[in-house]
Amino acid sequence: MEEVMRASFSSGSVVAFVIIATLSYLWIFRWRQRHRIEPKEWPIIGGALETIQHFDVMHDWILSYFNKGLKTFHVKYPGITYTYTIDPNNIEYILKTNFANFPKGELYHRHMETLLGDGIFNSDGEAWRQQRKTASFEFTSRVLRDYSTVVFRENALKVGDILSSVCQKHQPIDMQDLFMRFTLEGICKVGFGVEIGTLSESLPAVPFATNFDNANEAVTYRFFDPFWPLKQMFNIGNEAVLSRSVKVVDDFTYKVIKIRRAEMDLATSEGHDKKADLLSRFILLGKDPEQNFTDKTLRDVILNFIIAGRDTTAATLSWFVYLLSIYPHVADKIYDELHALEKDANINASQTLNQKMREYSSILSYDVLTKVQYLHAAITETIRLYPAVPQDPKGILADDVLPDGTVLKKGGLVSYVPYAQGRAKVIWGDDAESFRPERWIKDGVFIPLSPFRFSAFQAGPRICLGKDSAYLQMKMVTALLCRFFKFDLMPGHQVKYRTMATLAMENGVKMFVTRR
């Protein structure tokens, strides 16, 4: 009996000890979590729970931790650690000083491959260098610049005509949808030599655009969902949406390639000059047996330049008109600057609005658009607050230490965060979240800042090739629109971003447009 009692007591002691130890661990763990200024970490899942809970407001969730005084912090996930930073010295180290140690990386490539394949924004090494070399040649070409100016002007006038009609109907219009059409038409014409008719006045449905956005969101979700390979296997959830969306995107893209190849073959047979658009350059490059370019290679090229030439620029333009509706005094200052250009245009009061826009657009040359300093500052200020790429993750090839002492482990991801950096008071002052174009102007002249402090266009070897082209396109359309129209947000319309690779709006931006 004594032995049974001793055994029973011993077992009870073990159970009691386990319970007490477990409760003590949980109490200590909770106490530590309560006093953390970084995201909470749980056993096994790390910070995945908190991240998924805040997925729809991801960029502001990250910003909230920087607002606590952090310039760099970690978030652990099952099998990987993400490091976020807004420190300009760290960003310079990542993008320039030790560039070789921070490629896109295997993890990023695997997550984005379904949509972006092996294109320039999802590749490293020789594949990246070859695509960048070809694209760099085109973007520095005066011929392409002059051609782009003409195309952007024509498309801006189409947007103006649509808004002229909207004014007469007194109906709201989704400006994000309109800008997405504008930039898609632009990149398809300048980049690939084809017109797709998205800016006709009937505003036809664009299945490609809708499905491209859905695919973009789905691949972004992969970064925070450890179960996505399983969902992909069974074709469920976000992965089912991705599969359906990519099918539509691919059908459109391969059609563009087929049309462009046929046009080039016809031009060659008739002895005409070959076009110099980006797709043509890559098609010609692919005829070299050593390159072995397939239609899949060209498909990847197209989709990568569409996400750069359509999504980023359209997102900036959408946030720009949204901000003008909140800060009408900025819109008035832009109007004054643009109205001063009219002395060189043949505009008279008897002309219709459409005629006036055509006369005015004729003076919007590349050289004239370089002189509108306040408009340039207002666009840049928009990008500071709403960068087209809100965060940019890089792989880590080898263990490293950032300039601020943060330790990085091989195989993880480190992201610099333009969205949070642009709103950080420690970098921009107490009015960091205010829209104030004047912060970029000194003695009437736009003053650029270090790309490591204003990192929206990257820096170093991967600095954005299309920056000047993007500004040209944005200034062309905003100069026309801000001269002739005013924008007011539709009452009750909620504006918020959609969490994906680019900072597009979840519900668009519905505006009432009136003539100036």
Binding-site positions read 464
CA angle 131–297–117, rounded 5-degree value: 90
Helix 175-192 vs helix 467-484: crossing angle, to nearest 10: 140
**Which is nearest to 338 in space by CA: 318, 361, 366?**
361
SS3 state at 174: strand
The residue type at 343 = K
Kindly list the distances between the CA atom of residue 170 and the CA atoms of 41, 324, 506, in Å, as whole numbers in the listed order: 52, 19, 24
Other beta carbons within 10 angstroms of residue 252's beta carbon come to: 20
Burial class (CB in 10 A: 0-12, 13-18, 19+), 453: middle
Number of H helices, E strands in the chain: 21, 11
CB 107 within 8 A of CB 395: yes
Alpha helices in 35-95 (DSSP H): 48-53, 58-66, 88-92
DSSP string over 286-334: HTSTTT---HHHHHHHHHHHHIIIIIHHHHHHHHHHHHHHH-HHHHHHH
Dist. CA 109–CA 131, nearest whole Å: 16
Q: List residues forming the annotated binding site for heme.
A: 464
Other beta carbons within 10 angstroms of residue 307's beta carbon come to: 23
Dist. CA 319–CA 325, nearest whole Å: 10
Helix or strand holding residue 110 (H, E): helix 105-116
Alpha helices in 93-141 (DSSP H): 105-116, 125-139
Q: What are phi and psi of 506, to 5 degrees?
A: -65, -45
SS3 state at 219: helix
